[in-house]
């Protein structure tokens, strides 16, 4: 079993930056692919970023590519999401998720463990 706890959310003005963290406990962290997803009010949860077990492969949707960066520190059992040039449309609850095994899936159905989420609000 893996437990995930997100932190770092908050209120920021458009154009600003935030760094989200997700601390994991439980089984071997380094064997997991890790993803970030978000859900805005009235919308479905959507993929934001994913990183493989070593940190050598990442993927992003076009909506955040060039603005968001996912990284991980296996020694600290933590995955990060650096968010720059934030826009009001980035406002959502952000979730981290973990999946044991290879690959960098973007479908939320491929993930086994989820955090409770952290709110990010970007004001215009």
Quick check: 21 pLDDT over 80? yes
Rg of the chain on CA atoms, in Å: 13
Note whether 10 and 19 are within 8 A (CB): no
**Structure confidence at residue 28 (pLDDT):** 78
Mean pLDDT of the chain: 95
> CB count, 10 Å around CB of 70?
23
**Which residues face 50 on adjacent strands?**
35, 59
**Structure confidence at residue 102 (pLDDT):** 85
**Structure confidence at residue 30 (pLDDT):** 84
Confidence at 31, pLDDT banded by 50, 70, 90? confident
């Amino acid at each position: 079993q893996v437990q995930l706890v997100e932190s770092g959310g908050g209120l920021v003005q458009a154009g600003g930056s935030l760094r989200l963290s997700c601390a994991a406990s439980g089984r071997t962290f380094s064997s997991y692919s890790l993803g970030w997803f978000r859900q805005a009010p009235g919308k479905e949860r959507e993929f934001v970023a994913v990183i493989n077990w070593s940190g050598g492969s990442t993927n992003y949707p076009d909506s955040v590519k060039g603005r968001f960066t996912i990284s991980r520190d296996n020694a600290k059992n933590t995955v990060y999401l650096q968010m720059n040039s934030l826009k009001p449309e980035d406002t959502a609850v952000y979730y981290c998720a973990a999946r044991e095994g290879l690959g960098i899936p973007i479908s939320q159905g491929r993930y086994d463990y989820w955090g409770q989420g952290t709110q990010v609000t970007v004001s215009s």
